[in-house]
Structure 1
């Protein structure tokens, strides 16, 4: 996913200033695609220069409200429906798991235990977010709920997998210790 397409998608819902978009990122998208203020404003400038958005209004202190243009809608639609997602080609957690043989058994199990706890905490945060958000029938709410549900299910799976993996390491450690004793 790119910041460019995230901003186009948010502007497809209606005009917004960079400040408004930053607020939306902080309250909704930060869990799946975080962005800083400088990244958002830089990308808005690029979108405007590319003709994918335009300044709809200028307010006090140079505040600009942007709106998506037809070429921007075409670009967003193309990206949404025709460009295949890259998926999870890089996952630093799984890379670390793959390389855990470089540390002691207890350290490997502790790493996975921390992953379990982290996933549980995130799951709790997502559960709370779902209960405290004022959902409606707008597109952002409908698709926001779908995204949040994915986060809840994904963190649940992460916690279950990490617990399982920790037990697998414990079993491998026990098997290796038994083999060492036999020698």
Structure 2
């Protein structure tokens, strides 16, 4: 997903929204799946204007501008939604670190895993508060926004559960004597005593 299409999609949904309106909607909706700073959003508005994908619908006091999507913008958004295949990201830094947790003490590995589980629990609480704080309707932003929040809740719960499970696995391995660090230059195999 690109910030370009996120901003373009919000403008299509919120005809006549200002940059400030878009920023606030971004924070409560898309910010959970594609975070962006104010400067990035305003920068993208300028690029979309230059590309003819949006236009200024009206100008108000203190330079406030309300935007609307153009026909070219709708065509671009439609093309991205239905024709461009999602790339998806296979990069996951927390799991990359898990892969190498054998290089640290088991207690450190468990602390790392439990820390992620606790962080995900906090994120689930934030999503629940966000969900309660939104006045849901039957409009597209509400319908599809609820789908996205539900995905976030299920994904975070699955990851939290997995990190907790992995921490227990390390604990049980440690209890059975597996994963003990060997001093440099020693061997664990059957030829170690020869």
Count residues in correspondence: 182
SS in 1 for 2:41: helix
Offset at residue 153 of structure 1 (A): 0.6
Worse overlay, 131-140 or 95-104: 95-104
Provide the TM-score with structure 2 as the length reference: 0.87
Worse overlay, 41-50 or 51-60: 51-60
SS in 1 for 2:89: coil
SS in 1 for 2:157: helix
Correspondence 1:28-177 to 2 at 5 A: 28-177=29-178
The change in CA–CA distance for 1:15 and 1:164 in structure 2 (over 3 A counts) is: same
Offset at residue 101 of structure 1 (A): 2.2
Offset at residue 44 of structure 1 (A): 0.5
Offset at residue 178 of structure 1 (A): 9.1
The change in CA–CA distance for 1:166 and 1:73 in structure 2 (over 3 A counts) is: same
Offset at residue 179 of structure 1 (A): 8.1
Q: Look up the match of 1:17.
A: 18
- Tell me the distance in 2 between the aligned counterparts of 1:98 and 1:134: 42
Offset at residue 175 of structure 1 (A): 3.6
Worse overlay, 125-134 or 41-50: 125-134
- Tell me the distance in 1 between the aligned counterparts of 2:24 and 2:11: 13
More helix by share: 1
RMSD: 2.0
Worse overlay, 67-76 or 87-96: 87-96
SS in 2 for 1:84: coil
Unaligned runs of 5+ in 1: none
- Tell me the distance in 1 between the aligned counterparts of 2:178 and 2:101: 18
Worse overlay, 132-141 or 99-108: 99-108
CA deviations over 1:41-61 (Å, ceiling 9, x no partner) = 101000111111111111122
Provide the TM-score with structure 1 as the length reference: 0.92
SS in 1 for 2:85: coil
